[in-house]
Structure 1
Amino acid sequence: MSASTEASAIIEFFKRKSIFITGATGFIGKQLVEKLVRSCPDIEHIYLLIRPKRGRNVNDRLKELLESPLFNTARTINPNFEKKIIALQGDILDPNLGLNATDECTLIENCHIVFHSAATVRFHEPLRLAVQMNVASVIKILALCHKMKKLQSVVHVSTAYANCNRNDVAEMIYPPPIQPSKLLDASEWMDDQVLDVLTNKIINDRPNTYTFTKALAEYVISQESADLPIAIIRPSIVGCTWREPMPGWIDNYNGASGLIVATSKGLLRAMIGSNQATADIIPVDICVNMMIAIAWHTGIKNPKTIPVYHCCTGHLGTLTWGKILEHGLGHLDTICMENAISFPHLQFTENRFRYFYLRFLQEVLPAFILDCYMRLIGRKPIFSKICDKIYKNVRTLDFFTTHSWVFPNDNSILLQNEMSDVDQQIFNFDVKDLDWSQYWRIYCLGAKQYLLREDLAHMPQCRKRNQRLKRLQNFLWFTSIALIVKLVFFKSFKFHRILIVFLRLIISVLSTITTKIGVNKK
């Protein structure tokens, strides 16, 4: 390990450096902090911008962050790493980031590297708040960076979908449809209702305020960064960890995580989407390794233009939404969650009429029946509300599950070529060896263990429950078909006998197929 450490140019670059991170309590931010303290032990300080939340002060929130299982490996390697991490009270929505004079002076005098990952990731955030969090915050960060006396590198976390109105997105900053300064001014004085009414017209051909404001933020950087050593990373849909520090770590329901949980519980069964559309999922540890490598490269090269790096997997051409159903959610047959209400099943359809009738039959109607049962036993009905919440969340994904994009990764390849073999190993962001079937198995296990906090020892009971649900589901389906046929067709004795023979034949064939599938799986 010591030889590798001595040979690492990136670890050497971070020695005795002080780092400022925004968004450290977010998914990417947590992973970034963990990777830095685990792989770069000689960092001087890591300053985290944290705001008080729900009655907890910033030190309490920092303590909660560092007590996460995510840091168990780092704690084993370097038990005293917590001393290097300092919480600074602030908020990206406040003037000057909410920093007091002392903390601002500390950053100005000591900070070498800045990672800006704070943002709202809610797709349909009201435009005013999205602008303040994703655009105005960048202006504040840049203003602070201009004051820093030892600054060597700034990395801004954007998204690959900032320019999703284009099919082929280059690693460059595109001009915006509206000047950010005009929108910022309008958000200061315009009435909320007026701004909400105008939102669709303002964002135009982008699907939501998130992608729109992230594009504006990139343009602000191109205009306001002047001679700052700055770079932009554009991750696609960020998923659970692939390898570091433990496989499958996840702490939020965004993106694919929500689909896994809702499907595994039997609450989500249909979505609008194309089985052939590319699903561009990137493991969070890959994203963080690239962020650190970008910070190093920007610091030593100080590029004259702002480099943009795509952090994606779409160029592999191996994962579609259909493949996710096949390789990913297929693991839910064996990795079962507790208290599922039906056997896991999900299908994509591009036909909206088919989607709505599937949703009604498989989600809305069962939720209504379950709520009726809850009322009968004197408990509060919850399933219809959960069903509505899931519906609203998955509908925000329609645009991304029905379209495909090309994200060239030329700059990422060049960056990798600049790294030594040792650094490519320690800060690996090469995804060519990513086995999707294995990754989705890890993802399902991670969702159960880290997100739902379910005991893996209970898996056998969960599997038995799922098998009972499957048998019940099949029984209800066949019974429904039989009743419909009986009501629709003639009730003659002869037809009745033919119907029974026909149904028995179907059941026999299905039983044979199921048996063969079971044998093949074994």
Structure 2
Amino acid sequence: MKDLLAGKVVVLTGVTGFIGEQILWKMLTELPDTTPALLVRPKGSTSARDRVVTLLKKKIFTEVREAAGGAEQLLEARIRVIEGDLPRVPALPGDLDVVLHCAGDVSFDPPIDQAFRTNTIGTRALMEQMLAAVTDADGQRTKIPHYVHISTAYTAGRRRGAIREAAHEHDIDPQAETERGMALLELVESQSRTAEQLTKLRKEAEREHRQAGYLTTAADTERRRKEWVQRKLVEAGTERARSLGWTDVYTFTKALGEKVVAEVGKDIRVSIVRPAIVESSWKHPYPGWIEGFKMAEPLILAYGKGQLPEFPASPDSVVDIVPCDYVVNAILAVCATEPEVGTPVYYHSNSGARNPLTFRDLYAHVREYFLAHPFEGGARGAAALPEWNFPGAASVERLLFTSERAASLADRAVSLVPRSKLTRKMAQELDRTTKELSFLRRYLSLYNEYGQSELHFVDDNTLALHQSLHPDDVDAFAFDSAAYDWRTYLQDVHCPSITAPVRRMETLRRRRGQRPTTYRDLSRDGAAGGGKGVLAAFDLDGTVMTTNVVETYLWARLPELGPLSRAREVGDIARRLPGWLSAERRDRGTFLRSVYRRYAGADLAALEEFVDTAMAPSILERVSPDAVRRIREHRDAGHTCVLLTGVVRPLTRPLEPLFDVVVAADLATDAAGRCTGFLTGPPMVGESRSAWLRHYAASHGIDLQASHAYADSHVDLPMLSAVGNPVAVSPDVGLMRAASQRQWSVVEWRAAAQLPRLSLPARR
């Protein structure tokens, strides 16, 4: 092998991918006289060269890197870097001998435009640049290059039976299909912007975020629009592929890519390698080497965690797994061949032909591994491993549909239940279940047909190539898939390899605890003025204080009324309460204005005096001691403490000593000092709070990224999003879910309601 590839320049794409990385490692360690020329795209501000240097610092390259004196030295001595991308391929070196195309979209369900851009357009562009590189000014070829194309065995699509190592017969025009597939992007984008579609998406966003404000709703509407576009492009690709006989757009565009290769490469040497399901290495660079999760890993891990109750596979269908190093060895052996010009040679890299593994065998080996080596359980102990009966795809689909329906109904119920610690626990359990169901839906949809395929990939060409290896090359370059047994591979090599990082992460998570880090230790912030330029913003109702605006209104209003008037006032409040709650769900500002209209006629000065002399104890009784402790920690750290509330200002007077700034609703008065029932300005709710924070920060030299905010309601999402250290305090379900998605701290602050909820301050 060394002699056959000695002195050759091999242009390699996809080197930052799973297979490409090991190909580069193999070339650097076993092919000392071969020059890899790597086509790498820059990423952000990182150049292609710097990306390769970073790649060479990985563990797999340790030995060869240290022998060269470092990553930079290794690159200078052995590697060429070509900065470019697919399909924008730059000029390739004129001395190239082999172009090894490993890059490609390996997701089974990419958007249709992305699949075509990578697998057909990119392939054509690469081959055209290769031909240009070996063509002189007179249009004559300076050499005949060897183009090696890495495809997939599943380009066979929905065929059954034996699949030969040959071109698949079909009459689909790759160019026409590519043009129409790419045109779908503009079509779907246009559909997403119609009034009907935008209205639907906006209403969905409003149901979730209406209270938080228009900008929050608008941002979520646009997020939903983009997701809708991606989802429709994925659906379009899947349906187009299945309408023509392929399982998904990945295998469909890969098949068209093969046809492009045959067309463009009609007068050069062409080889096409079709790996099956590529998993961790059997031997090189070490047993179990793998980068990222491939096809089988998510399913194996989900089973080990008890999250995969069944799988819609035929128990006797072959799951055609092949170790990565065997694929790499086969590819490099193909690179060393010299196929006849104009006659592509196909190679299947798989195990099913001579060392078949059925789904039932895979299940048995994986189950046996996890029974012996279970994931460490948390509070609920180790997960129970499901027992698969392989009931068929229809039964699994019915089970999944029923579970999804039950979860949807439960989610509606949780949204209507009053907020409590129990409600949050129920919502968390429901979210966990919904996440697991979404995982099952996605993967069962993707792998359903693979689990029931009846394909048999013939590998005669590959076996013959293996048998042609020089005896000295067998140890380093063997790729006979009959040379290993599945029990050893799965239980001693593959499963330990893919579960190890998960186990390490879970151990680290247990050591650190589950709480994210936005609830910071403030003890060091006050040292040497470290707290300057930092604020801590607190919501009032439900955060600092266990009360609400209706309750505080009744505290202020009822003591001045006689028994009959009190009964009449409470009755009127009860009658209006359903409407107010409905208004609050739509717009909290409207709700507050409705309540504050009832202050009409009140003497503001008398109200303030009543708060100071009679209500203050009742208010302070309901201040959470955890909140007071945290406020004092911020003040000790030198932070500016701000109370942001929609409560009327008189009711915040007992809390003023705790805060540097109090922003509250101001009641408008007439010339006699009596409340008109209106406010002097809009109440401070939703996006008004984040706007106030940004303005205050700009005016007072505050660093919002270093600042803190505490709130309990989804309506406060904009305020929390405005700072670098947001904390959800005993949150409602909406905020709890948002905090979980954003990795914010969630804390439970104890209430301190020593008085009965309906006790009233006595007027003195």
TM range (shorter): 0.7 to 0.9
Q: State the alpha-carbon separation in 2 of the partners of residues 52 and 377 from structure 1.
A: 46
Say which SS state the counterpart of residue 482 (structure 2) adopts: coil
Check the 8 A contact 1:206/1:212 in 2, yes or no. Answer: yes
Cross-structure match for 1:69 = 59
Residue 351 in structure 1 maps to residue 363 in structure 2: no
- Tell me the equivalent position of 2:298: 258
1:163-182 pair list within 5 angstroms: 163-167=156-160, 168-182=162-176
SS in 2 for 1:108: coil
Contact 1:49 1:89 in 2 (8 A): yes
Aligned partner of 1:143 in structure 2 is 128
Residue type at the aligned position of 1:250: I
CA contact (8 A) 2:241 2:252 kept: no
Taking only the aligned residue pairs, the percentage that are identical comes to: 25
Q: How has the CA–CA distance of structure 1 residues 154 and 411 changed in structure 2, closer, same or farther, with 3 Å as cutoff?
A: same
**Whole-Å separation in 2 of the counterparts to 1:352 and 1:244:** 37
Match of 2:368 among 307, 327, 330: 330
Task: Measure the CA separation in 2 of the matches of 1:359 and 1:184.
Answer: 35
Alignment check: 8 A CA contact 1:176 1:216 kept: no
What per-residue deviation string (whole Å, max 9, x for no partner) do you get for residues 58-81 of structure 1?
334323322222223444665553
Is 1:35 matched with 2:26?
Answer: yes
Classify the secondary structure of the residue corresponding to 2:457.
Answer: coil
1:375–1:381 CA contact under 8 A, matched in 2: no
Distance 1:348 1:283, change over 3 A: farther
CA distance in 1, matches of 2:348, 2:404: 37
Q: Alpha-carbon deviations, 1:409-436, whole Å to 9, x = none?
A: 1111221233211123321101222110
Deviation at 1:213, TM superposition (A): 0.8
Residue 249 in structure 1 maps to residue 239 in structure 2: no
Instruction: Please name the residue that 1:15 is paired with.
Output: 6
1:115 to 2:153 alignment? no
Question: Can you list the C-alpha shifts for 1:456-485, whole angstroms capped at 9, x where unaligned?
Answer: 999xx9xxxxxxxxxxxxxxxxxxxxxxxx
- Alignment partner of 2:155: what SS? helix
Summarize the Cα distance change of 1:215–1:32 in structure 2 as closer, same or farther, 3 Å threshold: same
Once the two structures are superposed, the pairs formed by residues 160-309 of structure 1 within 5 Å of their partners are: 160-167=153-160, 168-190=162-184, 191-193=186-188, 196=233, 199=237, 200-201=239-240, 203-204=242-243, 205-298=245-338, 301-309=339-347
- Counterparts in 2 of 1:266 and 1:362: CA distance versus 1, 3 Å: farther
- 1:418 lines up with 2:468 in the alignment: yes
Seen in structure 2, the aligned counterparts of structure 1 residues 411 and 446 have a Cα distance that, compared at 3 Å, is: same
Taking structure 1 as reference, are residues 56 and 310 closer, same or farther at Cα in structure 2, changes over 3 Å only?
same
Say whether the 8 Å CA contact 2:355–2:482 is kept in structure 1.
no
Partners of 2:266 and 2:343 within 8 A in 1: no
Three-state SS of the structure 2 residue aligned to 1:59 is helix
Q: Secondary structure at the match of 1:292?
A: helix
1:225 and 1:242 map into 2 onto residues whose CA distance is 34
Which residue does 1:434 correspond to in 2?
484
The amino acid of 1:314's aligned partner reads G
- Asked if 1:342 is matched to 2:383, the reply is yes
Q: Secondary structure at the match of 1:426?
A: helix
Write the distance in 2 (CA, Å) between the matches of 1:161 and 1:28: 17
Which stretch of structure 1 is more off in the superposition, 66-75 or 273-282?
66-75
Distance 1:67 1:391, change over 3 A: farther
Offset at residue 165 of structure 1 (A):
2.2
AA paired with 1:295? C
Pairwise CA distance, 1:338: 4.9
Distance 1:411 1:374, change over 3 A: farther
Which residue matches 1:376?
425
* Equivalent pair of 1:169/1:408 in contact (CA under 8 Å): yes
Superposed CA offset, 1:154-182 (max 9, x none): 21001111012222211111233420111
Q: Distance in 2 between matches of 1:12 and 1:374?
A: 70
Distance 1:178 1:389, change over 3 A: same
Structure 2, unmatched stretches of 5+, are: 135-142, 192-231, 415-420, 512-764
Larger gyration radius, structure 1 or structure 2: 2
Aligned partners of 1:87, 1:214: CA distance in 2, in Å? 26
| Distance in 2 between residues matched to 1:141 and 1:254, nearest whole Å | 26
Task: Tell me how far 1:373 sits from its aligned partner.
Answer: 7.2
- Give SS of 1:336's match: coil
Q: Provide the rounded CA distance (Å) in 2 between the counterparts of 1:280 and 1:34.
A: 25
What letter matches 1:237 in structure 2? I
In structure 1, the gaps of 5 or more residues are 1-9, 462-522
What residue identity is the alignment partner of 1:158?
S
Aligned residues: 436
> 1:54 & 1:270 partners in 2: Cα distance?
42
